[in-house]
Amino acid sequence: MFAPLPTPHEMADWDRLSARDFGIMPEMLMENASRAALQALFDALGVKAHSPANKRVLLLAGPGNNGGDATALSRHLHDLGHEVLLLHTRPRQDYKNEAAYHLELALKAGVPTRLATDLDARDLGGYDVVVDGLLGTGLSGELRPDMLNLVRLTNDLGRKAFVLALDIPSGLSGFTGRPLHEAVRANLTVTFEAAKIGIAQPEAAPYIGRLDVRPIGIPRALRKTHAPAHVLMTAGLTDLIEKPGPGLHKGTAGHVLI
């Protein structure tokens, strides 16, 4: 009847406490997120396990956790035989912690990578899928010029390609769901463990596309003891309401306090 709607801070606490209290390392959660995104993408495109690996996929990876998810996803797609190009938005040495870990794995696996600023946008046509891993839910303040250009590039490529946003379309506020000037317009947004509160806001709808919520292994006990302050009412809530009889009148149906 209710689905959790964590704020970006509450979601970060789930990640942090999963490592501290349960020993589930951030690298593992990132791996889980990338595999969840892979399955959601294949489900949306109708790609089966035995389908030929014939997709051309461009992945844009920022230096944070969102970029780490995209980097891990690039490795899975590459290992399956799809034609992949990973664009990292910062020099490799600027990637830290689990994002650096997954970038190193991708390089060892042979994923083709390029620094985004080294490419001309005119060289990036012909992709079937564009993956937005630029920025996550913690974005605040307007986009920097370099990120704004990459958001615009993603939307330009999205005129012909399928756009997958990881966790949230880059440029949207994870709190309000409003674009911080501009945002990626996705065909599919895969959000991890729970939809963030900004994603559920009406202002986010034109950017989200279809929303797919996928678990990544946050323990149920942790989600219960650190429940978010907000929840989303789901269709199951209507099960609490008796079906109206044919002679029902509004004056006899009771009253609701909101």
Q: Is residue 31 part of a domain?
A: yes
What is the pLDDT, as a whole number, of residue 240?
79
CATH of the domain at 175: 3.40.50.10260
pLDDT under 50: residue ranges of the chain = none
Q: Is residue 23 part of a domain?
A: yes
State how far the Cα of 176 lies from the Cα of 210, in Å rounded to an integer: 18
What is the pLDDT, as a whole number, of residue 36?
98
Q: Please report, for residues 30, 72, 89, the alpha-carbon distance to residue 96 in angstroms, rounded to integers and kept in the order given.
A: 14, 14, 13
Torsion of CA 28, 32, 33, 35, to 10 degrees: 140
Q: Is residue 251 part of a domain?
A: no
Report whether 180 contacts 172 (CB < 8 A). yes
What is the pLDDT, as a whole number, of residue 243?
79
What is the pLDDT, as a whole number, of residue 250?
79
The count of structural domains within the chain is: 1
Q: Is residue 257 part of a domain?
A: no
State how far the Cα of 255 lies from the Cα of 258, in Å rounded to an integer: 10
pLDDT tens sequence across 69-94: 999 999 999 999 999 999 999 999 99
What is the pLDDT, as a whole number, of residue 118?
85
Look up the domain containing 76 and give its range.
2-237
Global pTM value: 0.92
Q: Is residue 191 part of a domain?
A: yes
What is the pLDDT, as a whole number, of residue 198?
96
Could you tell me the two tokens for 217? 């292994």
Q: Is residue 142 part of a domain?
A: yes
